[in-house]
Amino acid sequence: MKYDPHDNPGLMATLLYSAQWLVVILPNLIIMGSLAGRLHIADTIGQTIYLQKLFIILGISSLGQVLAGHRLPLVIGPSGILLVGLSASSSAGYAASYSAICMGGLCLSLLAASGRLGRLRQIFTPRIVAVTLILIAVSLSNFILRLIFSGEQNAFFSLLFTLVFVAVLLLGTVLLPGIWKSSVIVWGSCLACAVFFCVYGLPTVPLPGSGAVWGQFHAVMPEFVFEPGTVLAFLLCFMALLMNELGSIESIGHMLRAEHMPGRAVRGVGFIGIANMLSGACGVIGPVDYSMSSGVIAGTGCAARYPLAVAGLAVVALGCMPQLLGLLTHIPPLVMGGLFLYLMSTQLAAGLLTAIETRAVSSFRHCLIMALPLMTAVLITFAPPEAQQHFPVLLRPVLANGFVMGIATALLLEHLVLRDPSSEKGAP
């Protein structure tokens, strides 16, 4: 490594490394933020305010983690797990969903303060971790379908456009060098938007004025609504988010041979809990640390955390530019769907790689523990909305959430129904 986490690379190097971190941060932030905003907000001004709040909160959260939390160079961004929860619980309403995120963040912070993180980690065996990663992609597949085949465009064109777009992103990731590879989502999205607008024309909706956005900024905070079923569904989502957070911290800590890792993990989980409390209170999707940071560090040789802090400040600054963010609300749903198809393909690949590397599957029993939760998630994710209306109202947010039911099924099979005899106490 050229620079360790506590090194100061100097002004010019810090600015250059910060620009590269910003290129890594923005694609997921823009894509997932735009998708989450569209779930509950229909008007352009409301979606712009949503992105503003998200940018500001995530920029501040990044600063908090890097300077006082785990103190490692970890990219922070919107949680895909919580996007699954928001999508599946959209019928519960804006206020109930984000109140549940706020309560989930509170539970994370209390868990970190209790000193019981180690015990909870034992529940998530390698098989559970692998199936969780795969479930995220499976549970969002219906949402991706609605993005790709929405609007007035021809269905055949939508399919062809998506397949070509994903192929271009994949080839760019494999063949391109350096900065072009790390920014493939950025320039790929710009190219896809250009093609789409050439075919269907530029959007006619005007951008919101700065005065209109700032004038309504305070009026879009959700009320606190406690709905037990929605809270329970999101608490299961937060269990998976916790494993994601701990896995990211541990992987970077191991790579950099960082000291005092138990303390870093506790502080990191505590800060991410506070960030989710703030996000839920402000009505935006909560954050999590991404493990993709290892690839950036390996490519640049820079593990210094201060460039990432500067990138966090830049994200906050972008959140104060409503007209720039307003442009992002006009990204076509078809382009969003293609991007998410590509991202969830990498998510699915990560889950399969985890199962291989940890040797989580070595028998038919192990395969069944992973297969049945996935089929359960598929069944619920693609169940007709009218069928879900027959579920008990109190349990509907749980029973109608494919990701949550998949996780619950996996935990039940792993630790009770198909528990490995060798894991019993006293087993040789």
Q: Decide if 66 contacts 312 (C-beta within 8 A).
A: yes
Phi, psi of 406 (to 5 degrees): -65, -45
Q: What is the pLDDT of residues 208-217, one digit of tens each?
A: 555 545 555 5
How many domains would you assign to the chain? 1
Percent of the chain surpassing pLDDT 70: 87
DSSP string, 175-205: H--HHHHHTHHHHHHHHHHHHHHHHH----S
Residue at 106 is within a domain: yes
What average pLDDT does the chain have? 82
The vertex-266 CA angle with 293 and 67, nearest 5°, equals: 55
The pTM of this model reads 0.75
Residue at 1 is within a domain: no
Closest CA to 283 of 44, 57, 32: 57
**Taking phi first (over 0 means left), then psi (-120 to 50 degrees means alpha), and beta for anything else, what does residue 225 get?**
beta
| Enclosing domain of residue 109 | 11-421
Position 58, amino acid? L
Residue at 179 is within a domain: yes
Q: What pLDDT does residue 237 have?
A: 86
Residue 425 pLDDT > 50, yes or no?
no
Q: What is the pLDDT of residues 44-87, one digit of tens each?
A: 778 888 888 899 999 999 999 999 989 988 889 898 888 888 88
Residue 163 pLDDT > 90, yes or no?
yes
Tracing tokens 């905070």 back to the chain, one arrives at 221
Residue at 426 is within a domain: no
**Helix-then-strand count for the chain, H and E:** 21, 2
Residue 315: exposed, middle, or buried by beta-carbon count in 10 A (0-12, 13-18, 19+)? buried
Q: What pLDDT does residue 164 have?
A: 94
CA dist 124 and 362 (Å) reads 17
Task: For residues 14-25, give the mean pLDDT.
Answer: 79
Spatial neighbors of 383 by CB under 8 A, at least 6 apart, are: 400
Helix (H) or strand (E) holding 76: strand 75-78
Q: What is the pLDDT of residues 284-328, one digit of tens each?
A: 999 998 866 665 676 567 788 898 999 999 999 988 887 777 777
Q: What is the pLDDT of residues 91-145, one digit of tens each?
A: 788 889 999 999 999 999 999 998 887 777 677 788 887 888 788 788 888 888 8
Q: What pLDDT does residue 428 have?
A: 35
Per-residue tokens: 181:
């590879």
Residue at 195 is within a domain: yes
Tracing tokens 């989930």 back to the chain, one arrives at 104
Quick check: helix, strand or coil at residue 75?
strand
Provide the 10 A C-beta neighbour count for residue 71. Answer: 18
Q: Decide if 97 contacts 89 (C-beta within 8 A).
A: yes
Alpha-helix residue ranges (DSSP H) falling in 68-154:
80-88, 94-114, 117-121, 126-139, 141-148
Alpha-helix residue ranges (DSSP H) falling in 176-300:
178-182, 184-200, 210-216, 228-256, 261-282, 293-300
Q: What is the pLDDT of residues 403-415, one digit of tens each?
A: 888 888 998 998 8
CA dist 201 and 193 (Å) reads 10
Task: For residues 179-205, give the mean pLDDT.
Answer: 79
The vertex-92 CA angle with 153 and 375, nearest 5°, equals: 70
Residue at 30 is within a domain: yes
Residue 329 pLDDT > 80, yes or no?
no
Which range has the top average pLDDT, 54-63, 344-353, 386-395? Answer: 54-63
Helix (H) or strand (E) holding 289: strand 287-290
